[in-house]
């Protein structure tokens, strides 16, 4: 193959090929026969193993992802698995009345510990921006969230992605109630009738907006009632009430069964197909579509990104014309720990969907909003250089010249290769190893990866800076997170050899975005680990040890009677303190609402607030008919060149929000004191119980030290549960307050004004401008407005504190149950009887507890060390 060598020589050594991006292919002439001999020899040798990229190998932030931390955590889980196996081996675990049965059930739960789903990252974007493809990439699951044939997203339903350990997929679907469907049908029917009855008299933006609403209505009706809606004329010819009754009866008939909407043990393909059928309107089918009936979908997967307790949520855009779905998206976004507005990188700075998300964040006082720009690979050197000057432009030109050189060299080599015929080119093994690798590298790098990387990185940096500059004021106290990603670059290189194609995966931006999402859950993951190893496992080991020691005790009749009296007294004291209606642990919700009433509710100034709202509506009354109508069609939140940007809802309750700011802050401070009172009461009770044990058994060799240990460890579990309930309450209170007293459509004022806005939108004919203004003015001057808002505000807070009370009560019940069970081991002699039935079990458990405490001490030392390292 001397011709090949000549062709390679003609390309010249690298020193003579200025600006080339690829290495030269210099080498000696190749004899075809010797090449074939080498080829046969190489085929006989083993080929190197191709290693693909694994998400589990990606470097993650935080000490919880360090190898040392993970090893210590796994050691703790293995300890619980060992205890589970020991307890399972005893026949006693099958007896439901036995202590071993209860301990075995708890060991199973601890051995199967998984990080709780405590953090939510939401992705919201308009149709076609690549949101579903982004979710697939982050989940590292190809084609799970389905896109349409055109590549456009087809999400119609909010979809949550949760973790489960199984290798298959599971889908759980939550449906709208019949009443919720009826409300949606009424709203869409009114919009459809308004346009078709009065559209001829409309023009401009008004006609366009109502036409879009009418189209949404009829498209939804056709999807919901496929085959039934043969003649659509009745929607207009019948009265509104009659038409609504017909549609509602059909909705109730076609509404899917809750039971039939749950699917388990699905393959990836089956899950993808099911999601496409449930959550989108892609594809033709003879059956009514499911998505109009679905509120949200939960998908369970073993994706690595979900394994730490993270939940990813795929949300429809905020510009969804369906009010119910927009409200769902709004409420999801407020619940999310981080929100990403997804857009095409080419339109990032002008994307209306992104600006809508940041406007919502401003209204709800959220600071956790970022942007993901998709399709970062869609860039051309010739286009990108336009308008550039200086070093960046010069570097791009140099790279373009080098690529042209590579192309000429590759064409010359290919021409020579073509002359050798197909027989010798059945593969590249006729070349020397170096020549073969260099040729592959030459032809591969013809795709301009170096230039592409520079172009992509340069634009990503420019777009990121621009977006941060635009929205920095919308996210106080932190910089706006921006990620530029290429789903195509990720999947084109996902399964290729890792060492060679890792730069492509990095260039895709998906790895950085995934790392950031997983960092959101790092703090909660660490806390869950600490609770597991510092509280739950020690409490369980104390119970095991108590069973072991109780089974070994023997006492005289006199001593036994004294022990029983003390146990009876202590149990009675504990039950009275925990169960009394006057106990602070049972008064948490009552005390909290008493503080709300005194600090917030009693200070309401209905007259003043109503006067301020009426004054705001009078200002708007002076606006022109087209301007006022446009604000009504946009539910009070709009902007025109004449009057600027306004949010009627915000302006109507401005005085109320200002007046409640200080009382709300004082209430929150007082609420923290309620929690401290509960914790102090629990500490005092446990201290009294332990002191009673120590006093009564101070000179007794049978002192139940293990019983004291179980009380102490169970107290830590109870106080931690109270802490968590209060922290969750604080988070929920912050979110509820932000939404309830904002101008969002899902806020309290937004819900009050929903019907007035809709009535004003549908009002037509002579005098409609005056009637619209009467409708809005009347709604805002109604004295019941602020009475209703405050009642609903109070009801919302009450629901939150009662949810916290339920968590505290459940933790208290678990504390009492375990304490009584441990008292029973001593009082009833259960441990001794069970030890006699299975004497080997006692010795095995005794050794397991000793070994377990040593293992736990080592793990806790690792956790402390890694925490100090992270702080340094």
Return the DSSP state at 51.
P
pLDDT at 563: 78
**CA 559 from centre of chain:** 58
Q: Provide the pairing of β-strand 644-647 with 637-640.
A: antiparallel
pLDDT for 56-91, tens place per residue? 888 877 778 888 888 999 999 999 999 999 999 999
The residue whose two tokens read 């401009």 is 204
pTM for this model (two decimals): 0.81
DSSP string, 702-730: T--HHHHHHHHHHHHHHHHHHHHHHHHHH
Q: How far apart are CA 437 and CA 831, in angstroms?
A: 72
Among 544-558, 602-616, 772-786, name the one with the lowest average pLDDT: 544-558
**CB under 8 Å to 381, separation ≥6 — which residues?**
396, 399, 400, 448, 451, 455
Widest pairwise Cα distance in the chain = 108
**CB under 8 Å to 838, separation ≥6 — which residues?**
90, 91, 92, 100
pLDDT at 435: 62
Q: Given a cut of 80, is residue 110 above it in pLDDT? A: yes
The residue whose two tokens read 């590549």 is 151
Q: Given a cut of 90, is residue 419 above it in pLDDT? A: no
* Residue 773 and residue 621 in contact, taking contact as beta carbons nearer than 8 Å: yes
What percentage of residues in the chain have a pLDDT greater than 90? 52
Q: How far apart are CA 569 and CA 11, in angstroms?
A: 97
Alpha-carbon torsion (619, 621, 625, 626), positive or negative: positive
Query: Which of 108-117, 254-263, 782-791 tops mean pLDDT?
Result: 782-791
**CB under 8 Å to 713, separation ≥6 — which residues?**
535, 538, 539, 542
Over the range 533-558, which residues count as b (16 or more CB within 10 Å of their CB) and which as e?
bbbbbbbbbbbbbbbbbbbebeeeee
**E strand or H helix at 306, and its extent?**
none
How many CB atoms lie under 10 A from the CB of residue 518? 27
Q: What is the mean pLDDT of residues 383-404?
A: 54
Q: How far apart are CA 739 and CA 746, in angstroms?
A: 7
pLDDT for 572-596, tens place per residue? 999 999 988 889 999 999 999 999 9
Name the region of 765 (left: φ>0; alpha: ψ -120 to 50; beta: rest).
left
pLDDT for 333-346, tens place per residue? 888 999 999 999 98
Q: How far apart are CA 506 and CA 349, in angstroms?
A: 24
Half-sphere exposure of 193 (CA within 13 A, CB side): 21
Among 588-597, 601-610, 858-867, name the one with the lowest average pLDDT: 858-867
Among 21-25, 43-47, 533-537, 545-549, name the one with the lowest average pLDDT: 21-25
pLDDT grade for 392, boundaries at 50, 70 and 90: low
Q: How far apart are CA 115 and CA 310, in angstroms?
A: 9
Q: How far apart are CA 2 and CA 99, in angstroms?
A: 85
Among 282-291, 309-318, 598-607, name the one with the lowest average pLDDT: 282-291
pLDDT at 43: 42
SS3 content of the chain, % helix, strand, coil (to 5): 70, 5, 25
pLDDT at 478: 65
* Residue 144 and residue 301 in contact, taking contact as beta carbons nearer than 8 Å: yes
pLDDT at 147: 67
pLDDT at 1: 40
Taking the domains of the chain in order of start, what are their residue ranges? 116-168+292-520, 176-266, 553-837
Q: Provide the token pair at 65.
A: 């992802």
How many CB atoms lie under 10 A from the CB of residue 508? 25
**CB under 8 Å to 26, separation ≥6 — which residues?**
8, 9, 13
pLDDT grade for 425, boundaries at 50, 70 and 90: very low
**CA 631 from centre of chain:** 33
pLDDT at 453: 76
pLDDT at 693: 84
Angle formed at CA 366 by CA 363 and CA 371, multiple of 5 degrees:
105
Q: Which residues pair with 297 in a beta bridge?
A: 159, 173
Comparison of pLDDT for 766 and 661, the residue scoring more? 661
Q: What is the mean pLDDT of residues 259-271?
A: 92
pLDDT for 409-418, tens place per residue? 555 555 554 5
Q: How far apart are CA 138 and CA 127, in angstroms?
A: 19
pLDDT at 150: 42
Provide the 3-class DSSP secondary structure of residue 31.
coil
How many residues belong to the chain? 872
Among 319-328, 428-437, 605-614, 666-675, name the one with the lowest average pLDDT: 428-437
Q: How far apart are CA 185 and CA 248, in angstroms?
A: 7
- The rounded mean pLDDT for the chain is 83
C-alpha gyration radius of the chain: 34
pLDDT at 2: 38
Provide the 3-class DSSP secondary structure of residue 154.
coil
Q: How far apart are CA 772 and CA 763, in angstroms?
A: 7
pLDDT at 642: 93
Q: How far apart are CA 238 and CA 376, in angstroms?
A: 52
Q: How far apart are CA 450 and CA 30, in angstroms?
A: 31
pLDDT for 273-287, tens place per residue? 999 888 766 455 567
Q: How far apart are CA 870 and CA 866, in angstroms?
A: 6
Name the residue among 652, 655, 654 with its Cα closest to residue 757: 652
Q: Provide the token pair at 664.
A: 């709300």
* Residue 373 and residue 345 in contact, taking contact as beta carbons nearer than 8 Å: yes
Q: Given a cut of 90, is residue 243 above it in pLDDT? A: yes
pLDDT at 636: 96
Q: Provide the token pair at 639.
A: 């902007």
Q: How far apart are CA 174 and CA 69, in angstroms?
A: 38
Q: Which residues pair with 646 in a beta bridge?
A: 638
* Residue 225 and residue 155 in contact, taking contact as beta carbons nearer than 8 Å: no
What percentage of residues in the chain have a pLDDT greater than 70? 81
* Residue 482 and residue 463 in contact, taking contact as beta carbons nearer than 8 Å: yes
pLDDT for 675-722, tens place per residue? 999 999 999 999 999 888 888 776 554 456 788 888 899 999 999 999
pLDDT for 482-522, tens place per residue? 999 999 999 999 988 888 788 889 999 999 999 999 988 88
Q: What is the fold, at CATH topology level, of the domain defined by 116-168+292-520? A: Rossmann fold (3.40.50)
């Amino acid at each position: 193959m001397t011709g090949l060598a000549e062709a390679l020589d003609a390309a010249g050594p690298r020193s003579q090929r200025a600006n080339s991006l690829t290495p030269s292919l210099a080498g000696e002439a190749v004899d075809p026969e010797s090449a074939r001999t080498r080829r046969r020899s190489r085929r006989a040798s083993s080929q190197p193993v191709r290693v693909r990229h694994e998400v589990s190998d990606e470097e993650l932030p935080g000490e919880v992802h360090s190898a040392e931390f993970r090893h210590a955590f796994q050691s703790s889980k293995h300890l619980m698995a060992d205890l589970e196996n020991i307890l399972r081996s005893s026949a006693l675990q099958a007896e439901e009345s036995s202590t071993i049965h209860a301990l075995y059930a708890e060991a199973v739960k601890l051995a199967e510990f998984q990080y709780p789903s405590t953090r939510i990252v939401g992705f919201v974007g308009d149709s076609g921006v690549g949101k579903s493809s982004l979710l697939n990439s982050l989940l590292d699951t190809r084609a799970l969230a389905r896109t349409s044939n055109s590549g456009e997203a087809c999400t119609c339903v909010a979809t949550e992605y949760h973790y489960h350990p199984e290798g298959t997929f599971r889908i759980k679907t939550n449906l709208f109630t019949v009443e919720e469907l009826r409300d949606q049908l009424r709203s869409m029917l009114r919009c459809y009738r308004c346009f078709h009855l009065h559209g001829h008299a409309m023009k401009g933006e008004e006609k366009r907006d109502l036409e879009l609403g009418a189209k949404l209505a009829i498209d939804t009706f056709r999807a919901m009632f496929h085959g039934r809606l043969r003649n659509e004329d009745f929607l207009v010819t019948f009265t509104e009430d009659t038409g609504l009754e017909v549609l509602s009866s059909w909705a109730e008939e076609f509404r899917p069964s809750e039971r039939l909407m749950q699917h388990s043990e699905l393959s990836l393909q089956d899950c993808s197909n099911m999601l496409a059928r449930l959550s989108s309107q892609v594809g033709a089918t003879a059956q009514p579509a499911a998505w109009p009936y679905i509120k949200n979908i939960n998908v369970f997967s073993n994706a690595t990104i979900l394994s730490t307790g993270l939940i990813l949520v795929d949300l429809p855009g905020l510009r969804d014309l369906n009010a119910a779905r927009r409200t769902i998206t709004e409420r999801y976004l407020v619940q999310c720990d981080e929100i990403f507005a997804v857009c095409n990188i080419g339109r990032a700075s002008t994307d209306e969907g992104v600006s809508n998300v940041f406007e919502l964040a401003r209204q709800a006082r959220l600071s956790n909003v970022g942007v993901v720009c998709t399709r970062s690979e869609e860039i051309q050197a010739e286009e990108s250089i336009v308008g550039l000057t200086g070093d960046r432009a010069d570097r791009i030109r140099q790279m373009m010249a080098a690529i042209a050189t590579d192309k000429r060299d590759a064409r010359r080599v290919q021409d020579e290769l073509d002359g050798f015929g197909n027989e010798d080119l059945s593969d590249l093994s006729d070349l020397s190893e170096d020549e073969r690798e260099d040729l592959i590298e030459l032809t591969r790098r013809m795709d301009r990866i170096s230039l592409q990387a520079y172009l992509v990185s340069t634009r990503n940096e420019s777009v990121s800076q621009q977006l941060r500059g635009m929205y920095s004021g919308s996210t106080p106290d932190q910089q706006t997170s921006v990620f530029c990603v290429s789903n195509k670059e990720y999947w084109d290189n996902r399964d290729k050899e890792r060492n060679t194609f890792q730069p492509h995966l990095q260039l895709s931006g998906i790895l950085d975005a995934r790392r950031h999402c997983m960092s959101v859950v790092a703090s909660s993951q660490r806390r869950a680990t600490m609770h597991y190893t510092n509280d739950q496992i020690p409490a369980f080991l104390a119970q095991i040890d108590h069973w072991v020691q109780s089974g070994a005790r023997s006492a005289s009749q006199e001593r036994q009677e004294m022990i029983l009296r003390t146990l009876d007294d202590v149990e009675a004291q504990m039950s009275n303190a925990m169960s009394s209606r006057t106990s602070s642990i049972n008064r948490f919700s009552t005390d909290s609402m008493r503080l709300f009433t005194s600090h917030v509710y009693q200070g309401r100034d209905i007259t003043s607030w109503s006067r301020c709202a009426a004054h705001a509506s009078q200002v708007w009354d002076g606006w022109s008919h087209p301007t006022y109508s446009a604000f009504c069609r946009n539910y009070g939140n709009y902007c025109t060149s004449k009057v600027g940007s306004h949010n009627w809802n915000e302006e109507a309750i401005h005085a109320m929000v200002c007046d409640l700011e200080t009382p709300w802050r004082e209430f929150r401070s007082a609420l923290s004191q309620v929690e401290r009172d509960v914790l102090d009461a629990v500490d005092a009770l446990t201290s009294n119980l332990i002191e009673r044990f120590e006093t009564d058994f101070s000179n007794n060799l049978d002192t139940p030290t293990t019983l004291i240990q179980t009380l102490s460890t169970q107290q830590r579990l109870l106080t931690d549960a109270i802490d968590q309930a209060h922290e969750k309450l604080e988070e929920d209170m912050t979110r509820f307050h932000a939404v309830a007293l904002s101008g969002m459509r899902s806020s309290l004022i937004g819900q009050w004004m929903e019907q007035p806005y809709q009535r004003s939108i549908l009002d037509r004919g002579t005098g409609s401008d005056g009637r619209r203004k009467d409708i809005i003015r009347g709604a805002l001057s109604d004295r019941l407005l602020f009475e209703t808002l405050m009642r609903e505000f109070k009801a919302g807070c009450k629901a939150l504190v009662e949810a916290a009370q339920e968590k505290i009560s459940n933790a208290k019940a678990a504390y009492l149950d375990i304490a009584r069970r441990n008292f029973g081991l001593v009082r009833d002699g259960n441990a001794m009887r069970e030890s006699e039935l299975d004497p080997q079990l006692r010795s095995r458990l005794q050794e397991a507890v000793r070994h377990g405490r040593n293992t736990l001490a080592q793990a806790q030392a690792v956790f402390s060390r890694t925490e100090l390292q992270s702080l340094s």
